[in-house]
Amino acid sequence: MASGAVLPPLPGGRVVPFTTMQAAVSRNMVESLSVPTFRVRNSMTADKLDALYEKVKSKGVTKTVLLVKAAAMALTQHPVVNASCRDGKSFSYNTNVNIGVAVALEGGLLTPVLEDADKWRVLLKKARTKQLQPNEYNSGKFTLSNLGMFGVDRFDAILPAGQGAIMAVGASKPTVVADKDGFFSIKSEMLVNVTADHRIIYGADLAAFLQTFAKIVEDPEGLTL
């Protein structure tokens, strides 16, 4: 069968061709399979982050925006996690911290790039009305995907082509935690998984980045907008 031809429908079903957006997502996902990746996971206490979110959500600030700002602060301390490799022979340290945020849309997925937290609502509206310009969604070098609002506690994300790492954030949930003295308490815990390009980022790099990210999340005063 010729390349690009649509297969006949199965009995009782129908074939739906990809939209332009779905075709682009498919190409990017297939391209990403050629990149050797690895994953690192860390659990962090989110009580103070949750409390901060409760204070600022009336201003239209989402938890995703707070997480992006925390990731940006951590990336400035760990520039290799903000690096990217295209040709397999060299890699680029990116001066700007441009974080793509995965947004589910009807019939596809876009990652608008959040350079300014105050512009998130505008970007989100443009993404959902298909008004994003190419420079507003294809310049990210690190991506954050947050499924916590759906109650998902953990998941892995596929590394987008041309990026160094992608962070997958789950919901913060009450968890029984023991301290160093053996006393138990209930804290809000959040699992964060990061998938990275192993050609340029190594285990110790990613572990150190996640450690910094956790410190920011657990003491989030610097995230005030």
Instruction: Kindly report the number of other CB atoms within 10 A of residue 106's CB atom.
Output: 8
Element (H, E) at 73: helix 63-77
Closest CA to 63 of 142, 117, 139: 117
To the query of whether residue 78 is one of the catalytic residues in this protein, the response is: no
Catalytic residue chosen out of the listed positions 119, 187, 198, 215 = 198
Token pair in block for residue 34: 């050629």
Structure tokens, 172 = 């913060």
What one-character DSSP code corresponds to residue 25?
H
Q: CB within 8 A of 59, min separation 6: which ones?
A: 225
Annotated active-site positions, please?
Answer: 198
